[in-house]
Amino acid sequence: MADSATANRRRTMFQSERHREIVARTLQVGRVDVAELAVDFDVTAETIRRDLSELQDRQLVRRVHGGAVPWQTQGFEPLLAVRNDQQVSEKRRMAARAVQELPDSGTIIIDSGSTLTVFAEHLPRDRAIRVVTNSLLIAQVLAENEAIEVVVLPGKVRKNTLAMVDSETVGAVRPLNVDTLFISADGMSTTHGLTTPYREEAALKQAMVESAGRVVALVDFSKNGKDHLVRFANWNDVDVLVTDTRADDDTAASIEAKGPTVLRA
């Protein structure tokens, strides 16, 4: 039985976070039960059934009588669910720290990705800011926050990330002038900065960096030392790097010597 602190956290859980935990549980145990989920998350069985229907529509789980099992095809997203479930505690700590880098008002961009989805869940509910994003998941999270105006960038939806990443998206970003960008990366190194294997994503990320007065990168330390095909930002393009406590002093100092402040959460 969950302790009272866990129960309280679950009562206030965002729908998007509940969805991620349901998907993670199906991957871990193979089958989830509606009645058990309703008790665990302190919601009605009907709410859980709606959750499972939405997750099935997104091909993250497959509904069965009384519950759900993992989606077994090679299609949509065990990949997304697994990525969202990795380094969860580190991502939550990083998100909580990165919230302190928010401007008091104005416009920010939040890039797509699992770390930044967790960050979006941590945004305060009394901060009247405008958020531009290319992520449908982040837009869904922020739609629950009445203080925030959400602007979704146009473009073709990439099914494995539920994000828009194409030339139309890049074109929509180029004229923007925003206060702060919150961005992530597939790889980082002291030598090559922030990188990704995907050229379209790199073009979009470069446009985002160029549009922002201030750049905050959230990259967990498991990405350190991984240099991918395309660099989208040098360290002197980044104002703040938020990573986790696995980052050693020497690496942090080497990165800081090239420009950004390194924060370990």
Q: What is the pLDDT of residues 237-261, one digit of tens each?
A: 999 999 999 999 999 999 999 999 9
Full-prediction pTM beyond 0.85? no
Among 12-21, 65-74, 110-119, 222-231, the least confident range:
65-74
Domain boundaries 4-83, CATH class: mainly alpha
Mean pLDDT over each residue of the chain, to the nearest integer: 88
DSSP 8-state class, residue 184: -
pLDDT at residue 68 is higher than 70: yes
- Per-residue buried b or exposed e for 142-178, using 16+ beta carbons within 10 Å of the residue's own CB: beebeebebebbebeebeebbbbbbeebbebbeebeb
Q: Where are the domains of the chain?
A: 4-83, 87-264
Q: What is the pLDDT of residues 98-142, one digit of tens each?
A: 999 999 999 999 999 989 999 999 999 999 999 999 999 999 999
Q: What is the pLDDT of residues 165-220, one digit of tens each?
A: 999 999 999 999 999 999 999 999 999 999 998 899 999 999 999 999 999 999 99
**What is residue 10's predicted lDDT score, i.e. its pLDDT?**
45
Place of tokens 């950004």: 260
CATH topology of 4-83 equal to that of 87-264?
A: no
**What is residue 247's predicted lDDT score, i.e. its pLDDT?**
96
**What is residue 142's predicted lDDT score, i.e. its pLDDT?**
94
pLDDT band at 40 (very low <50, low <70, confident <90, very high): confident
Query: In whole angstroms, what is the distance from residue 54 CA to residue 57 CA?
Result: 5
Place of tokens 């629950």: 144
Domain boundaries 87-264, CATH class: alpha beta
Among 7-11, 72-76, 145-149, the least confident range:
72-76
**What is residue 87's predicted lDDT score, i.e. its pLDDT?**
65
How many CB atoms within 10 Å of residue 237? Answer: 20
Query: In whole angstroms, what is the distance from residue 231 CA to residue 198 CA?
Result: 10
